[in-house]
Structure 1
């Protein structure tokens, strides 16, 4: 075998091993095919009614695997439901997708949370505990500020 052939064979072997290790996931600290979730931009507009409020937030997934937001619990409401909005049609759903390498954005006029049977009417400045539950990832606990009804986050 010539020196050139040995170098080509070594390069092919090294490339093949690198691909195999990457496919196995390795232990490089990366998330591979698992979701890696974080929550930001959460808020509740001060509710106009004493028994119902809306909630908005963004779930970012830096991992390669998708997940689903399946429910949210909070001491503020006896029930929290997930809603999608397509055009002017709103409907309740059992889960919302959090794509791998993407995000789920719940916003005014779009997909959102509905909090019903409130335990009290929250005031501006109050922080409300939320626990987000996912199909595969661990639950995420956050504190959600109550903002004025006219609040619009900066994108």
Structure 2
């Protein structure tokens, strides 16, 4: 069989490379689909919820949630509401100044990665809340967590002393 001329090889190479790239991409997408993860929606659940008891004359405190997402797609926590707070709860992150002072910075949303989750802590992401009345350890505070893609989740967070957490089972 004769060797193709240079004039024929150049167009075949120009067409062949994109066709090969598309074929490889289709094989990869087919494998992803075969594993059952393609198009799998987020599936977020709350496994822990607690809120610090306000101390002294402090009007604000913080709530913390541990969220898991065993779905195939990421989601975002975009809003939190509560009938038990004097002002709407706000997502925030703790930041440090160059002099070492801590402050809260409001954030619009928090990522809940696929096949992972989000654990809120006093040194990272949390929810700033202002109680309507006095909250005592052991009481429960109602929250509704709203997500960009998933269903809203209603949860009751237990009030604990600052610096502690709770192992109490969650109640919807």
Equivalences, count: 134
SS of residue matched to 2:33 = helix
Whole-angstrom distance in 1 between the partners of 2:61 and 2:134: 9
Please, which runs of 5 or more residues in structure 2 have no aligned partner? 1-28, 97-101, 168-172
Indicate how the Cα distance of structure 1 residues 25 and 34 shifts in structure 2: closer, same or farther if over 3 A, else same: farther
Please, which runs of 5 or more residues in structure 1 have no aligned partner? 1-18
**So what's the TM-score if we normalise by structure 1?**
0.74
Out of 82, 94, 107, the position equivalent to 1:85 is: 94
Is 1:32–1:63's contact at 8 Å kept on the other side of the alignment? Answer: no
Is 1:51–1:121's contact at 8 Å kept on the other side of the alignment? Answer: no
Matched residue, 1:6 = none
1:148 CA displacement: 1.8
Matched residue, 1:102 = 116
**So what's the TM-score if we normalise by structure 2?**
0.67
Question: Which one has the largest radius of gyration?
Answer: 2
Q: Is the counterpart of residue 144 in structure 1 residue 157 in structure 2? A: yes
Whole-angstrom distance in 2 between the partners of 1:101 and 1:64: 6
Which segment is superposed worse, 66-75 or 145-154? 145-154
Matched residue, 2:129 = 115
User: Alpha carbon RMSD of aligned pairs, Å?
Assistant: 2.7
Q: Deviations over 1:56-107 (max 9, x none)?
A: 1111100110100001111121211101235556411110001111111111
